[in-house]
Chains A and B, each alone.
Chain A
Amino acid sequence: MPYRALAPHLHGAADAVLKYFIANHGIKNSNIVVEEGVDPNVEFAPTFTLTTDDKELICIEILENLYPPEIKDFVLGCKNHSVPAKLYCALLSEPEDQVETRAYQFATDNGIGLLGVDPANYGIRKINNNALSLSLGGLRTFKMGDYPSSYRAALQSAIDTFKNGNPGKGCLDVYQEIEHLTRRIGKRAASISGGLRSTASFNWDTQAWANIAEFLKTHLDTTVCKCPDLRPQLFNRIIGMTEYRNDVGHKPKTLAKRIERDRLAKTRFEGAMDELLILINASKPLRLKP
């Protein structure tokens, strides 16, 4: 490979790592670039960038020491600009060398894959192979303690699904929690005398989620139900969300579309998490059973 910036003594290790990725990911030669940036806004050019059929970028950096400051800047840059790159750091080290705990933690926290390259024979070993898309890893940190315990496992699973490369499904999982709660609010209000201003019969289990939210927006009597925060504006926001409910998305055809999809998914996921918390708190006076 024609390296320009990589130190000459790391060339052998770099060749071995590239061969390993080609063998394991079936990347075509035309989808491999050497020492080129992944995005004009990200000030770093990894040693290799491989593009998968899903328009995901696999970035590989060959290192002697974990982690030079430029790696941290790269991670931050990809998160900020929603670049769908998975980063692998290939570390030149003896098999018995231990990765420093702090460095290992940094890799885990940021979804960076770690490989060890034996300098004697360029044998590759996995240290931590859990590389996640950095565009999705930039998700805001949520305080799980703010959510009732009955929600926490499902929400944590939604976050993991999102970060593990399935943002559409992650969003869907949160939307389902909101939908389920909306239906329970309707049922509960209907069981309170005068809780709804309409006597029309309504199937809370089978009606479309958007219709339920629309109905509650119009007919919920917040005074009788003693839940003043379940305002029409909140239901309006939920109605707006229902149109994304099944928008899990198809595989993006270009890198630009993937960046756009991830950026949108991040905004939607964070928005849905926030609205769920607002809805949970607003419906507390109804004393819903989990």
Chain B
Amino acid sequence: MKSQNLREIDIDLIDRNPDNPRIIFRPDELSSLMASIRKHGVQVPISVYRKEGRYILIDGERRWRSSIKLNRKTIPALIQEEPDPLNNLLLMFNIHALREQWDLLTIATKLPKVIDLLRSRLGKQPTEREISEETGLAFAVIRRCKLLIELPQKHKDTILKELQKPKSQQQLTEDFFIEMERSLKTVENNMPSVVEEFGKETIREALISKYKAGTINNRVDFRQIAKIARASNVGADTRRAQNSLTKLFTKENSYSISDAFEESVGTAYVERDLLTTLTTAARQMALFEHSTLDAEIINALSQLRLEIDRLLEGE
């Protein structure tokens, strides 16, 4: 910003910024802010720019809303010069990305506009690094946003409705959809025929329905769907894995992600983990001499030998 000055301005002369990505204002959160403002006043000035005799918010919409509710007539504000459309958006992204946790959907909604404006400025499609540098958002956040952007509108509406609830009451959260979408992308890449058979939206509906019914009770379980889809990586039977996914993606049953995982690839992943552990252990053991081992390790190795003998003799 070239110049800015601090003034106490009339609260009624301020308008919200239509480009503010924040669209959720939870009443319980505003209530806490109001309590603080009532006690200490607005300690951090809001940021605005002047336009046609009024002021447009750049930063501080919650403080402005709380001050209106508290019947305040003025609010301290830093008055800046009017930014161009891209800078207007980027300012808000940077202010919030650095200072507070925004709901991802609010970022996701505005991100396409940022990308469009960046494309015009750079004359090419911006890379993730360029988006990250301009917005202050981490790569991971940008990727998660992209998953939300690609969701059908009705699911975005569902998330929006959930976001309006206090956090403790939210069920179909952004994280739920992100985990689900990630796993479906893996299925699409590794077993495209399964997705083609049902259609992606039908699969989403089935999984949402099972989540609501409690058949799926942890959104992290979606990661197991990705593991099933990558059955070939662990040498598991891919036909069986496909059958399990088909059964899982059918709405009318109580077949859970854990059921599908155990029936198809569970053992294969345990075996792979065991192999990795044993290979690593063997490599590390090669570095020791008998004389350097303490009693504790000797005891652990003796127990391991008993298990190894049991397994090999059984063979």
Contacts and interface: CB of A to CB of B under 8 A. Distances in A.
Contacts of A44: 69-71
Interface string A8-36: 11100000000000000000000000011
22 contacts: A4-B16, A5-B30, A5-B65, A5-B66, A7-B24, A7-B26, A7-B27, A7-B164, A8-B23, A9-B164, A10-B27, A35-B69, A42-B71, A43-B70, A44-B70, A45-B68, A64-B28, A65-B28, A69-B34, A70-B31, A70-B70, A73-B38
Main secondary structure of the interface of A (DSSP, over half): loop
Nearest to A35: B68
A40 B35 CA distance: 18
Interface in A29-79: 35-37, 40, 42-45, 63-65, 68-70, 73
Given A10-B27, A35-B69, 14 more contacts: A4-B16, A5-B65, A5-B66, A7-B30, A8-B23, A9-B164, A35-B68, A45-B69, A64-B28, A68-B27, A68-B28, A69-B35, A70-B69, A73-B38
B68 A5 contact: yes
B198 interface: no
A7 B34 CA distance: 14
B25 interface: yes
A45 B25 contact: no
**Residue among B31, B70, B71 with most chain A CB within 10 A:** B71
Nearest to A77: B71
Please classify how large the interface on chain B is, using the bins under 10, 10 to 19, 20 to 34, 35 or more: 20 to 34
A68 B30 CA distance: 10
Contact of A8 (B25, B28, B31, B68): B25
A37 B71 CA distance: 5
Contacts of A73: 38
Interface string B21-51: 0011111101100110010000000000000
**Residue among A5, A10, A73 with most chain B CB within 10 A:** A5
Nearest to A4: B68
Contacts of A69: 31, 34-35
Q: What 4 A-B pairs have minimum CB-CB distances, sorted nearest first?
A: A37-B71, A68-B31, A9-B164, A5-B68
A121 to B, nearest CB: 15
Nearest to B165: A64
A40 B69 CA distance: 13
Nearest to B38: A43
Contacts of B161: 9
Nearest to A37: B71
A70 B35 CA distance: 8
Nearest to B23: A8
Interface string B186-202: 00000000000000000
